[in-house]
Chains A and B, each alone.
Chain A
Amino acid sequence: QKEVEQDPGPLSVPEGAIVSLNCTYSNSAFQYFMWYRQYSRKGPELLMYTYSSGNKEDGRFTAQVDKSSKYISLFIRDSQPSDSATYLCAMSPRDDKIIFGKGTRLHILP
């Protein structure tokens, strides 16, 4: 079993819809969870960072972490065509490493 599992998609949704992106993980040592957005041929851009379980909201983005289920989510409200990108979940135990999911390709259809 891979440490971090993420459906690669592609996921296509109409503009204005709520998008739900998810990752599961197997390592209970992970405590720090991040979501990155990566446009084609660009570096990853940090969207959300959360510690342990709970929710965090920033504008149209909400990140959820459920450590008991080893499951994290990113919700995007009022999705826009400019949200079309690859979304990478990432997580870290208490060391220097960031473990990335494979990324989900998201297409928002105008």
Chain B
Amino acid sequence: DTEVTQTPKHLVMGMTNKKSLKCEQHMGHRAMYWYKQKAKKPPELMFVYSYEKLSINESVPSRFSPECPNSSLLNLHLHALQPEDSALYLCASSQYPRVGSSGEAFFGQGTRLTVV
């Protein structure tokens, strides 16, 4: 099983709403990632969790708040977003925090977020 599951698949939210994106993997991977992808652009790294601890925050605005409750789950809490935050939000996981030593990083199908 090389599956990373993200929910919801689509989300429309207002600028004053609070919502959460969820990501789950059962491959025993100890690194999980959040990426943001705008149309026709490559994924951009937002956060990395290594052994359930935040190891990389790529200067992401505080309206995005990640959480890793356990080794299988990763959440992204959203609050007071702007229309320009509309994008495909991708979760990924790899066996070890160092992508190179783990080899592959597997991606979920993403949550398409629209902020109105």
A residues at B contact (CB < 8 Å): 8, 31-32, 34, 36, 41-46, 49, 51, 88, 92-98, 100-103
Contact A42 B105 (CB under 8 A): no
**Contact B42 A103, beta carbon cutoff 8 Å:** yes
With the chains together, A45 CA to B4 CA distance in Å?
A: 11
Q: When the two chains form their complex, are residues B97 and A96 in contact, meaning their CB atoms are under 8 A apart?
A: yes
Bitwise interface map of B from 87 to 116 toward A, beta carbon under 8 Å scored 1, else 0 = 010100000011111011111111010000
A49 to B2, CA, bound (A): 15
B90 to chain A: which residues have CB within 8 Å?
Answer: 43-44
Bin chain B's interface residue count: 20 to 34
Q: Tell me which residues from 47 to 81 in chain B have a Cβ below 8 Å from any Cβ of chain A.
A: 48, 50, 55-56
Which of B42, B55, B108, B110 gathers the greatest number of chain A CB atoms within 10 Å? B42
Tell me whether B42 and A96 are in contact (CB under 8 A): no
In the complex, 13 of the A-B residue pairs with CB atoms within 8 angstroms, ordered by the A residue number, are A8-B40, A41-B88, A41-B112, A43-B90, A44-B107, A46-B105, A49-B103, A88-B43, A93-B100, A97-B45, A102-B41, A103-B40, A103-B42
Query: What residue of chain B has the Cβ atom nearest to residue A4's Cβ?
Result: B42
Residue of chain A at shortest CB distance from B101? A94
Contact of A96 among B4, B98, B106, B108 (CB under 8 A): B98
15 additional A-B pairs beyond A41-B88, A92-B99, A96-B99, beta carbons within 8 Å, are A36-B107, A41-B112, A43-B90, A44-B43, A45-B107, A46-B104, A46-B105, A49-B104, A51-B100, A88-B42, A88-B43, A94-B101, A96-B33, A101-B42, A103-B40
